[in-house]
Amino acid sequence: MNIRTGVLGASGYGGSELLRLLGAHPSFDLVAASGSTNAGEKVTSLNPALLPRYGEFKLCDSNPSNFKGLDLVFLALPHGLSLELAPILLEDFGVSHVVDLSADFRLKDKDLYKKWYGFEHNQEKWLKTAVYGLPEISREGVKDAQLVAVAGCYVTAAALCLAPLIQGNLIDKAGVIVNGASGVSGAGRKVDSRYLFASLNENYFSYGVSNHRHTPEMEQVIGAQILFTPHLLPINRGILTTCYARPSKEIAVTPEILSNVLLDFYKDEEFVGVVDFPPEIKSTLGSNYCQISATFDERTNYVMAFSVLDNLIKGAAGQAIQCANLVFGLKETLGLSALGIYP
C-alpha cells in the first residue's frame, strides 16, 4: 500500500521524529513536509541524522495547498494552529485523513479551551467528530476516524498506568496525584532562558503548578480528579510518571491484585509492558513502548503507580503513526519498535 503522506510542522522535535519514523515505514510515502520559518531548507539542515533517507528533501511552507489531495497529513504544530488547518485540509483540499499531535481536538468540552489554552474553540463539528488517539484505550474508534487527536505525552504516561485501576474500581476517583518528569524535548524546539544548558544542566524543577493544560485531558481520559504537577529533567527525552491514589473502599487492594489487573488489561498489547519494579526512563528510550507498574503501601494507605515512555515516540510521533496504521487498516506495529536503546 502506497499512502501519500505529508507532515505539517516538520521542523520541530515531534515533526522531526515523525520524519525519522516515516523514513522506515513501508506504506507511508512522505511527499511533503513543512517548516514555516525554514521553508526551502533541506530537512537535514535541522536534523543531520536524517541524511541517509532525506538527503535532498526540502521543507515547504505551511500553505495547505502543498498538501492537497494527500491520503494522510500529520499535524505537528503548536497548540491553536491545527484548529483552523485541520478542517481546511479535510474540507477544502481533499485530504483523506488528518492525525493531529496538538491538543486542539482532544477535549470534548469546547469551553475548556478558553480556560486551559487561552482560545475559543470554533470548530464544534470537528471537535465532535475527532477520535482521541490513545490506541490502548480508544482503539476501535481510531480505526474509523477521519480526524485523530493524538494523546498528549504526559497524559499517555499517566493514563496507561491509572485507567485500568480506575476501570477496575481499585482506586478512588478523587484526589489522584500525578507527578510527571520529562526531558527538555517535551518543551519543543524553542529559545527560552530556562532551557539554556547553564540553566537546565544539573537542575530539576516543577512548572505549571496547579494549572498545567494537560490536566483536563488527564481527567477526561482517566475518569478521575487529578492533581498534576510536571517537572523538567536535565535530559533530552523521556518521561517518568509517579502517581498516588487512595485504594477503593470496596476491594481489599494488594500489590498482587494491582499487578494482575494491569497484566490482564494489557495482555494483548504490543507497546505496553507491566513490570514488577518501578521502571526507568532508559528502559523505553528510542521505542514506542511504555513500561508500567503498581504497588500498594499499607502503612500510608496509598496505591502507587509508575510509568515510563519516550515522550517523542510513544508520547508523540510513534503514537501518531500507531494511530495512522489503525486508520488505514495496517498492522498496528508497522514501522514501530518496542525495543529501546541502552545505555
User: DSSP assignment of 1-30, as one string?
Assistant: --EEEEEESTTSHHHHHHHHHHTT-SSEEE
For residue 225, the domain's CATH number is 3.30.360.10
Residues 144 and 224 in one domain: no
Averaged pLDDT for residues 73-90: 96
Is residue 272 a part of any domain in this protein?
yes
Is residue 128 a part of any domain in this protein?
yes
Averaged pLDDT for residues 326-337: 98
> Which domain covers residue 289, as residue numbers?
154-311
In the chain, % of residues over pLDDT 90: 93
Residue 153 a catalytic site member: yes
- Which is nearest to 293 in space by CA: 242, 228, 234, 218? 242
Residues 242 and 304 in one domain: yes
Q: How far apart are CA 260 and CA 149, in angstroms?
A: 30
In the structure, how many helices (H) and strands (E) does the chain have? 11, 13
Q: With contact defined as beta carbons under 8 Å apart, do 15 and 191 qualify?
A: no
Please identify which of the residues 60, 153, 243, 290 carries the catalytic annotation: 153
Residues 87 and 106 in one domain: yes
Taking the mean position of all CA atoms in its chain, how far away is CA 76? Answer: 11
Is residue 342 a part of any domain in this protein?
no
pLDDT tier, 195 (very low <50, low <70, confident <90, very high otherwise): confident
- pTM listed for this prediction: 0.96
Residues 298 and 268 in one domain: yes
Averaged pLDDT for residues 133-157: 97
pLDDT tier, 166 (very low <50, low <70, confident <90, very high otherwise): very high
